[in-house]
Amino acid sequence: MPTLQRDRAVRSIAINTTATTTTLGASVQRYVAFLRGVSPMNCKMPELKRSFEAAGFVDVRTLLSSGNVAFSASPAVVPELEAAAEEAMKRVLGKAFLTIVRPSFFLRSLVEGAPFAEFALSANAKPVVTFLRRPHEGVVALPVKQGQAAILGLEGTEVFSAYVPDEKGPIFMTLLERTFGKDITTRTLETVRKCSVA
C-alpha cells in the first residue's frame, strides 16, 4: 500500500490522541520536538537542552544543532507538550521557537513506510518532510512545483516534498510557506530518521 494511503487512524496519533505505552509497562513516552528557525547562531544547544529539562522532560538530547530535541515525558497530547516546551524556552532562553512535537514511534513508522517510494525522484533530489501543527484545511492540487522544487504529497499533518539544490537557494521553503503558512518546520528525511531513533 502506498505510504500516503496508510491508515489515517494511525497517522492521527501524532496530533489528536494521548499516546500510551502501558502495554509495554513503561511510564514515559519518547518524543521529538522540531523547532522552527533554530541555528547555532541564535541558540546554544546546552541552553536549549536546559529549557526542555525545565519543562519537566527527561533524557533530553539535542541533535544536529538545528532545533531537534529528543526527550521523554509522561504520555500526553501533542499540543500540551508543545505549549510546555515553548513556555519553558521563554523562561530559560528569554524567547521561544515554534515547536512541533511528534512521538518517536510515529516518526519511525513514517520513515519505515518509505513515503517517497511512489515518486520518481532524480538522483540528486533531496526528500524533505514538513510538519504542520494542525491538518491543512484547504484543498491543495498536487504536485505544486516551482523551479526544481515540488510539493508531492500531503497526509494529515505531514507534507512530502523534494528539491534539487541550486544557486537560487531554498526555493522549496518559499513554496511551502506560500502553500501552508509559516507555522511549519521542515527536515530532510535523513534528519527525521536520525531523530526517530534518538
C-alpha span between 10 and 97 (Å, rounded) = 28
Percent of the chain whose pLDDT exceeds 90: 80
Report phi then psi at 28, rounded to 5: -130, 160
Beta pairing partners, 159: 130, 154
Q: In what helix (H) or strand (E) does residue 10 lie, and over which residues does it extend?
A: helix 8-11
Higher pLDDT, 75 or 25: 75
DSSP label at residue 64: T
**Res. 26 pLDDT band, cuts 50 70 90:** low
pLDDT of residue 15 exceeding 70: no
C-alpha span between 148 and 125 (Å, rounded) = 9
> Which pLDDT score is estimated for 140?
93
C-alpha span between 160 and 60 (Å, rounded) = 27
To 10 degrees, the CA torsion angle through 160, 166, 167, 169? 10
C-alpha span between 18 and 21 (Å, rounded) = 10
Average pLDDT of the residues in 10-30 = 53
Q: Is the dihedral of CA 13, 17, 18, 20 positive or negative?
A: negative
